[in-house]
Amino acid sequence: MAHQHLGEFGDFSLSVLVTSPPWYENCYLVTHRPSGALAVVDPGGDGARLREAVATIGATPAMILLTHGHPDHLGAAAEIETAFNIPTRAHVDESPVIAAASDLNRAFTGQPQIGPARLETFSGEPVEHLGGAEIRVIQTPGHSPGGVCYDFGPFVLTGDTLFRGGVGRTDLPGGSERKLWDSIDRLLGMVGDDATLYSGHGPAWTVAEARRWWAMAG
Ligand SMILES: [Zn+2]
Ligand SMILES: [Zn+2]
């Protein structure tokens, strides 16, 4: 399946490429249209398809962003780094998870995995830049210790912290149910009322829908 164009959001154009089984992970391609700069968020696999999607979109990759370091979110990072000469950026607290991704992948699939070779870490909640636009980093530990969400304003990429009608698992190394709950509380208080939430697996939902659901579930 080719990548899918999800829409135009202000200066941003958003597309998704769903990776192959068994993970069906949502890799998001965010283009800052005024500059043509593109961020590849969570390149979980299917490197050749991703490169083809980037070529079709016709933008210039500037960086890879990771919401977190599980193997289903970074399997194609090394290939994309090399293909476009770009770094991979992630929260520093996620470094041990990224380092262990190959082992975790082997545990799940029997196969080792090549991790990012050009990892750049950030700490706290910096503002990331894409072609002059600002991306707010929101720390959301719980599914993993250094998990983050990327708030572009009209949309937020929530990784495996929050799915439509569900939350991320907390049984993997470094996971914490209490922290995840606190993170979701805080996240839903920070994001814009009219924003759309795009998660690491499955369909999107609105902040309004998420808040209603969380008020009942949380
Ligand atoms: Zn995960
Ligand atoms: Zn995932």
What domains, with CATH codes, occur in the chain?
4-217 (3.60.15.10)
pLDDT number for residue 217: 85
pLDDT number for residue 70: 98
User: Ligand 1 centroid vs 203 CA: distance in angstroms?
Assistant: 16
Other beta carbons within 10 angstroms of residue 85's beta carbon come to 8
> Which-ligand-closest: CA of 163?
2
pLDDT number for residue 1: 67
Residue for token digits 């920070």?
Answer: 190
Classify residue 165 as left (phi > 0), alpha (psi -120 to 50) or beta: left
List the shell of residues around ion ligand 2, using CB closer than 5 Å: 72, 160, 200
Alpha carbon distances (Å) from 104 to 43, 111, 113, 173, 195? 17, 9, 9, 10, 33
H helices present in 3-134, as ranges: 47-57, 71-74, 77-84, 95-99, 101-109
User: Ligand 2 centroid vs 160 CA: distance in angstroms?
Assistant: 5
Antiparallel, parallel or unpaired: β 155-159 and 162-163: unpaired
State residue 68 phi and psi, 5-degree precision: -165, 180
Does residue 184 contact residue 161 with C-beta atoms inside 8 Å? yes
The overall pTM is greater than 0.95 = yes
127 CB-contact burial (10 Å; exposed 0-12 / middle 13-18 / buried 19+): exposed
Question: In which element (H, E) is residue 63 found?
Answer: strand 60-65
| CA-atom Rg of the chain in angstroms | 16
From first to last of its 218 residues, the chain has per-residue pLDDT tens of 689 999 999 999 999 999 999 999 999 999 999 999 999 999 999 999 999 999 999 999 999 999 999 999 999 999 999 999 999 999 999 999 999 999 999 999 999 999 999 999 999 999 999 999 999 999 999 999 999 999 999 999 999 999 999 999 999 999 999 999 999 999 999 999 999 999 999 999 999 999 999 999 86
Return d(Cα 194, Cα 56) in angstroms, integer. 29
Antiparallel, parallel or unpaired: β 119-122 and 127-130: unpaired
User: Ligand 1 centroid vs 2 CA: distance in angstroms?
Assistant: 23
